[in-house]
Amino acid sequence: MPRFKLTIEYAGTRYSGWQIQQNAKTVQGELARAIRTATGRQDFELYGSGRTDAGVHALAQVAHLDIATGLPPASLQRHINDELPADINILTVAVVPHRFHARHSAVARRYVYQIARRRTAFAKPFVWWVKDPLDLNGMKVAAASFVGMKDFQSFAAADDDAEDAGRSRLVLVEHLAIEPREGLLLVVILGSHFLWKMVRRIVGVLVAVGRRELTADAARSLLDSRSDLPAKLTAPASGLFLERVFYQGDRLDVPVVTPTPVSTDRTASN
């Protein structure tokens, strides 16, 4: 039975996350339905590189699919896409060795969070509009304290399920940057893995620093002992994108994609 690597983009607004759940519409569930319809097969296995929470998006989620089919990758991609809703799209399909595992073979993941600096009529499902002035330098100082191997117990959801069960709250954050782009602040974070809601809670803490509601030192101290503050500051799901999943041999310094540019220049000329 061949194994296929799927690279998938989706807008998570209408879904209760990636992972299949009973009585809820999920991205994995929609993919599984489309695969059944497109191939006529009921016996297949579909694994993602990791879950995304309700309302979170992906520019390049990775999954592997084990299925008995004679369809070549391009045809399989086309047939599945024909059965998918418009807000889920398979970008690529490739045959991979069975030793490849979408989740366990991943060496790093990169998320991008979009903070809008102006009100927008079109990008609301994909940004967090923060109206207040933000101290960018203070946010950068706070962000630096989260880089490295750190204990993120205060940033993990209390109801972590089996995906994180038994896993240390120690996470290696290799890169955390705040980049102004086209009416946005992008919070870009690269790490070995992430705890459930960890990225959104880091963003919420950084925005609190930017609003001068929290000092950079106070943000750093959240790593020293358990605190409920990050949970109270959790950023909305709308602005978060799983931007890329990295595997052995991938370069980690590839440019970051801006998911939804929000230009500050809307002046029309005739």
Catalytic residue among 53, 66, 228, 250: 53
- Listed as own residue / partner, the contacts of 252-259 with beta carbons closer than 8 Å and 24 or more positions apart are 252/108, 252/174, 252/175, 252/190, 256/110, 256/112, 256/179, 256/186, 256/188, 257/59, 257/112, 258/112, 258/114, 258/181, 258/182, 258/184, 258/186, 259/57, 259/59, 259/112, 259/114, 259/126
Rounded CA gap, 235 and 90, in Å?
28
Query: 245 with 165: CB under 8 angstroms?
Result: no
Closest CA to 15 of 62, 61, 54: 54
- Listed as own residue / partner, the contacts of 44-47 with beta carbons closer than 8 Å and 24 or more positions apart are 44/68, 47/101, 47/102, 47/103
Token output for 242: 């799983």
Question: 158 CB contacts (<8 Å, ≥6 apart)?
Answer: 231
Confirm whether 53 is a catalytic residue: yes
* Residues that are catalytic: 53
